[in-house]
Structure 1
Amino acid sequence: MLKTEDIQIRDPFIVPVESAGTYYMYGSTDKNIWGKGTGFDVYVSRDLEMWEGPFPVFRPPGDFFADNNFWAPEVYSYQGRYYMFATFRRRDNQLLGTAVLAADSMMGPFHPHSDGPVTPSDWSSLDGSLHIDEEGQPWMVFCHEWQQITDGQVCAVRLSDDLKQAQGDPVLLFSASEAPWTTPLASDKVLVGDNYVTDGPYLFKGEDGRLFMLWASFIHRSYALGIAVSASGKVTGPWMNEPEPLYSNDGGHGMLFRTFEGKLMLTIHTPNKTPLERPIFIEVEESNGKLRVTGS
């Protein structure tokens, strides 16, 4: 068994299964996630404090389209199977893209489902997240990477019902610099141009039906997590960014889930530095159409 503070992981994603009293934690689990990708693991817990694992859930086949940068797996139950949305760096053009994997069990093994990335082949894209709209149509919300376009974007694209391919062109939801709280990416000593980062979008429907988005960027050299709200309640927005980040203490790429006791919980990784990153869990309150951190 491992304590939460002993697990090196980035981009933690929790799937609670109440019938089994079990939490499954996926994430970027390679020791050096900036290099060669070996696959993804899962950890299993009953209390979010002690964990069993890691258990391998994906290892790439020999003809897989990528061998570097295996990032940010998110797992969803959909039409009787489990689908993993994860980011990989393509072999053919060295661009990032989000692909879909599938399995019959949350413990895997997951196998390629889409024919490579479902993001545009000439875009550097990452952190795809599944959203099912009010009509039952699957969408993927993802980032168009700042390293390709300077001002990172959050976009959405319709998916086919089988989740194997995109349908139509992506829709721009907003750019990173539009949020009041973001600042340009900077190193410890110098400003790196006017580059604005978008990372890890995750959609969450509030108790009153309001559609929230968590997404990460930087504020004064610190990794941070912001909130946007859809004015229409639809994935296509328009999206309004809150003036202040939800969390700004060098942590981000978050998602929300409810514990078996009904608490709304945020998980992020912090600090944003390999190999020190760890998952943490913070209680969040939803009140009057706002989300705020109440835990430490």
Structure 2
Amino acid sequence: MADDDLQVPLDALPVHDPFVLPVAHDGTYRLYQGVAGDPAGVEVRHSRDLRTWSAPRRVFSVPDGCWADPSCSPWAPEVHAWGGRYHLLTTLHQPAAGLPPARQGGTTFLLRSDESRWRLDPAARGTVVAVADDPDGPFTLVDPTGPVPPAEFMTLDGTLALDRDGRPWLVYAHEWVQLLDGTVEAVPLRPDLSAAAGDPVHLFRGSEASWQADRTPRATALAPYVTDGPQLRRLPGGALACLWSSYRGGGTEYVQTWALSRSGDLTGPWEQREVLVGGGAGHGMLFETFEGRTALVLHRGMGTPTVRAEFHEVDVSPDSLAVRPWRW
């Protein structure tokens, strides 16, 4: 990447679901984004300082003939180095393939929203894996026939996590649209991440967040128990943290929160912790800068023309995450 390729300042760059990959061999950060198009796909931008970013480059396109609609923009792309290759995880969609409506006991719920932009009838959605030999792709879809989680589940935002024995898992959010009370779940993966290697396990529910205790649902509000954007981080001493996002205040305030597995086991038990960042910010992930700082990147202003990435510095201890302002 040449210096004159750096063109776009961070505060001018629309960003949803940010994922930053530091690549040590060239001292450059990658920022991956889902994009619309014909077909839709994933783009990457480069930066050396996290402040100014290059023009985008397409690294993955939703292929014709796969289970997903190639016109629907992927959600929450992220790239992980694993087994000598780079693995792209992203959520694809097939709105034409309906799934059964939300049910609780013997009652079927037909969900509606005050905001017409929200599609609330369940339809096929799930995380896929694509592979490449380079973080700049091109990435090739491993399995064009379906997502990694069960196809009858409406899922999103899959991320790679390792258990205490170093085995890979896909951790994802199971949509509140299908469950009413959204969950975070995990499914074991084959060693090459090509497919699931067992049945999903339940980690926790959106309603378990301690700050949801005073929540009074309204008939016209979004369901209160959204789960979104899980990301895992091993803490010093072995405990496991799970970042995730939801809504509070009647479904109006998007927030970044987290949970802690003190045992270090992926299956928990999970203890819900405080909101880390509020005010309409969330879907965050942690990474280490080249200077050795722990950074939290998330987006603020989701669904608006001014959605932007936002950085915070994080102090990490054996049982806590403390967020403070980013120092440029």
Partner of 1:250: 280
Partner of 2:155: 125
Question: For 1:208-227, what aligned pairs fall within 5 Å after superposition?
Answer: 208-220=237-249, 221-227=252-258
In structure 2, what is the Cα distance between the partners aligned to 1:12 and 1:44?
13
- Greater gyration radius: 2
* 2:83 paired residue among 65, 69, 79: 79
Q: TM-score, normalised by structure 2?
A: 0.83
Equivalent position SS for 1:245:
coil
In structure 2, what is the Cα distance between the partners aligned to 1:9 and 1:251?
12
* 1:174 paired residue among 192, 199, 204: 204
Compared CA separation, residues 21 and 123, structure 1 to 2 (3 A) = same
Please, which moves more after superposition, 155-164 or 177-186? 177-186
Partner of 1:228: 259
Q: Percent identity?
A: 41
Give how far 1:129 is off: 0.5
Compared CA separation, residues 160 and 49, structure 1 to 2 (3 A) = same
Q: Where does structure 2 lack aligned partners over 5 or more consecutive residues? A: 1-6, 99-122
Compared CA separation, residues 186 and 223, structure 1 to 2 (3 A) = farther
Q: Describe the superposition over 1:63-92 as per-residue Cα deviations: whole angstroms up to 9, x where unpaired.
A: 132122410011001111110111011354
Compared CA separation, residues 77 and 288, structure 1 to 2 (3 A) = closer
Equivalent position SS for 2:56:
strand
Partner of 2:101: none
Partner of 2:30: 24
Code of the residue aligned with 1:107 in structure 2: it is D
Number of corresponding residues:
289
Code of the residue aligned with 2:246 in structure 1: it is S
Compared CA separation, residues 288 and 191, structure 1 to 2 (3 A) = farther
* 2:8 paired residue among 2, 5, 17: 2
In structure 1, what is the Cα distance between the partners aligned to 2:295 and 2:13?
18
In structure 1, what is the Cα distance between the partners aligned to 2:22 and 2:209?
31
Question: For 1:25-44, what aligned pairs fall within 5 Å after superposition?
Answer: 25-30=31-36, 38-44=40-46
In structure 1, what is the Cα distance between the partners aligned to 2:275 and 2:235?
18
Conserved in 1, the CA contact under 8 Å of 2:236 and 2:317? Answer: no
Higher strand proportion (structure 1 or 2): 1
Give how far 1:142 is off: 0.4
Partner of 1:105: 134
Conserved in 1, the CA contact under 8 Å of 2:34 and 2:73? Answer: no
Please, which moves more after superposition, 102-111 or 62-71? 62-71
Partner of 1:89: 93
Give how far 1:149 is off: 0.7
Q: TM-score, normalised by structure 1?
A: 0.91
In structure 2, what is the Cα distance between the partners aligned to 1:172 and 1:148?
15
Conserved in 2, the CA contact under 8 Å of 1:185 and 1:218? Answer: no
Equivalent position SS for 1:147:
helix
Q: Where does structure 1 lack aligned partners over 5 or more consecutive residues? A: none
